Amino acid sequence: MIPVQEKPAPDRFDQAVRQKGLAFLRRMEVAMNQPLPDQIQLEPYWRACLDDLHEAYGGICAYLCVYIERIVGGVSVDHFVAKSKKASLAYEWSNYRLACMTMNCRKRDYEDALDPFTILDGWFQLEFDEGIEIVQRQLADRTVKAGEEELFKSRAKEKGDVKIIDLLSARLDAKTDSYLATLPSLRLNDARISSDMVRQHERMLTGGFYAEINLAYDGAIAQEKNGRPFGIEGLREIQLSKRDVLDDLTAARAQFSTADWKTLLLRSIGIESAGLSERAKDAFLLRMVPFVERNYNLVELGPRGTGKSHLFQQISPYAHLISGDKDPRQHEFSVQLRAFDASKSGAKLGIAILVAMCTALLKKTTRGGLIIIGEINLGGSIEPIHNAITVAEMAVEKGATALLMPVACRRQLFDLSDDMATKVDIQFFTDGREALLKAIQE
């Protein structure tokens, strides 16, 4: 996870989502601050703001930190406080997190999930057993809960300062010619803050930003008339605190060469490119194309144990896994991936591979016990098979109940023994389309 800056609600949100949702809750007599009754099914008005949410957060999943393609990427609205826990937040923009469908389903209604709006740099480290305890301890020590305002103020007085996580904003007090900070969680609106700090983080003058704040207390100032004992001594921003940061980022990005961009992208997926050839770099980059290009289908074939399944199943819910098996008879159906360009010339494609890819993309199932034989060349013609009887005998040995072969094999099979002919149902195809139609389970 990375820190995510909360964005303001779009202008049309109140009318398109909030008002409709609140009217529905009133009509169903749902208590606003209570868990949602089991028999109530909320109207998903939040879907009306999905495009706005995707645009506001740049299409980045708040939990997985990857770009979500709007059309095919499984974009969803995650309610950070689950709808079942507090109905009134079901239609509030501040409770929405942009999430891919996979992460949304996994988060469900867990209450101990970290909020991307409040996490800080340095919270995560490789000490897996202790890391979560460190994060939880920091959250407990620095997050002001309802009713704890005076407790944190007291800690600042007794210890001299205290660290909290809060939305920091500031305003100019013309009477004293100074800036005053506001900390909503402590109900403070007159904390001292230096002019240099305001100039350095000027977004606190335009709505504010979340930060880890070092709040100090000065007893001597408290004794003065109209004294303001609380002051901001330091901060570490969680969200962007400068207005021109995007301009600086754009200028810096313009200095990157094509080679620099390749290195950066490869490092983002954990690959160090220093020892890779240009062809190997391009092969890794090709895997990322479906995440930025609409309507792009990428089929990756490779040996077992090279991470193909893990990569695509974990990143995209729209990835379809096609894998062979050592013993196809253990499964309800199988596609024997035979005759896949044995010469490695790139001039031929196995019909079985073609059928497997098409059925996966169509979300269809092939017939049980089916073995497909044949190749198609670049010209679209079906390559002849010269050992059809041997192939049929091997299919029977493998436990196949059906065999799909090119129609040119029909004459060769006149010599197939009667015993073999009764054990397997042999069908023929004239082209790839017919092979697919006959292979699909009805």
Q: What is the DSSP string of 179-193?
A: EEEEEGGGTEEEEEE
Sequence ranges of the domains in the chain: 13-107, 141-237, 252-315, 328-439
- The domain defined by 328-439 carries CATH number 3.20.20.80: no
Q: What is the pLDDT of residue 127?
A: 57
Identify the band that residue 331 occupies on the pLDDT scale cut at 50, 70 and 90.
very low
Average pLDDT over every residue of 43-58: 89
Does the pLDDT at position 266 exceed 70?
yes
Average pLDDT over every residue of 5-12: 90
Q: What is the pLDDT of residue 315?
A: 59
Does the pLDDT at position 95 exceed 80?
yes
Between 333 and 122, the more confident residue is 122
Q: What is the pLDDT of residue 433?
A: 84
The token pair at 322 is 């096609």
Average pLDDT over every residue of 176-188: 91
Q: What is the pLDDT of residue 324?
A: 45
The token pair at 374 is 């044949």
- 246 contacts: CB under 8 Å, gap ≥ 6: none
Between 138 and 157, the more confident residue is 157
Q: What is the pLDDT of residue 301?
A: 63
Highest mean pLDDT among 229-238, 272-281, 318-327, 335-344: 229-238
Does the pLDDT at position 322 exceed 90?
no
Q: What is the pLDDT of residue 309?
A: 65
Angle 278-286/258-268 helices, nearest 10 degrees? Answer: 60
**The CATH number, out of the four listed (1.10.3470, 3.90.550, 3.40.1800, 3.30.1380), of the domain defined by the range 13-107:** 3.40.1800
Mean per-residue pLDDT of the chain: 80
Q: What is the pLDDT of residue 168?
A: 92
Average pLDDT over every residue of 14-20: 91
Distances (CA, A) of 190 to 151, 187, 228: 18, 9, 7
Q: What is the pLDDT of residue 396?
A: 85
Percent of the chain at pLDDT > 70 equals 81
Measured CA to CA, the distance from residue 190 to residue 409 in angstroms comes to: 89
Distances (CA, A) of 33 to 40, 120, 149: 15, 29, 21
- 50 contacts: CB under 8 Å, gap ≥ 6: 75, 76, 77
Distances (CA, A) of 284 to 266, 269, 272, 349: 7, 9, 11, 23
Under DSSP, the state recorded for 276 is -
Q: What is the pLDDT of residue 375?
A: 81
Identify the band that residue 216 occupies on the pLDDT scale cut at 50, 70 and 90.
very high
Average pLDDT over every residue of 124-153: 73
Under DSSP, the state recorded for 36 is P
Q: What is the pLDDT of residue 432?
A: 82
Does the pLDDT at position 247 exceed 50?
yes
Does the pLDDT at position 341 exceed 90?
no
The token pair at 428 is 């023929």
Per mean pLDDT, which range of 16-30, 111-125, 130-144, 358-372 is the poorest? 130-144
Identify the band that residue 328 occupies on the pLDDT scale cut at 50, 70 and 90.
very low
Percent of the chain at pLDDT > 90 equals 15
Q: For the full predicted model, state whether its pTM sits above 0.85.
A: no
Under DSSP, the state recorded for 348 is E
Q: What is the pLDDT of residue 337?
A: 34
Per mean pLDDT, which range of 188-202, 260-274, 281-295 is the poorest? 281-295
Between 297 and 188, the more confident residue is 188
Identify the band that residue 377 occupies on the pLDDT scale cut at 50, 70 and 90.
confident
Between 326 and 155, the more confident residue is 155
Highest mean pLDDT among 17-21, 294-298, 332-336, 346-350: 17-21
- For β-strands 348-350 and 375-377, DSSP reports them as antiparallel
Q: What is the pLDDT of residue 86?
A: 84
Q: What is the pLDDT of residue 359?
A: 77
Average pLDDT over every residue of 128-142: 68
Q: Quick: pLDDT tens for 414-424.
A: 888 888 888 88
Q: What is the pLDDT of residue 169?
A: 92
The residues pairing with 67 across neighbouring beta strands, listed in sequence order, are: 60
* Residue carrying structure tokens 């740099």: 121
Q: What is the pLDDT of residue 336?
A: 36
Identify the band that residue 197 occupies on the pLDDT scale cut at 50, 70 and 90.
very high
Distances (CA, A) of 370 to 205, 348, 367, 389, 410: 69, 22, 6, 17, 18
The token pair at 54 is 């995707």
Identify the band that residue 129 occupies on the pLDDT scale cut at 50, 70 and 90.
low
Residue of 103, 105, 85, 111 whose CA lies nearest to 30: 85
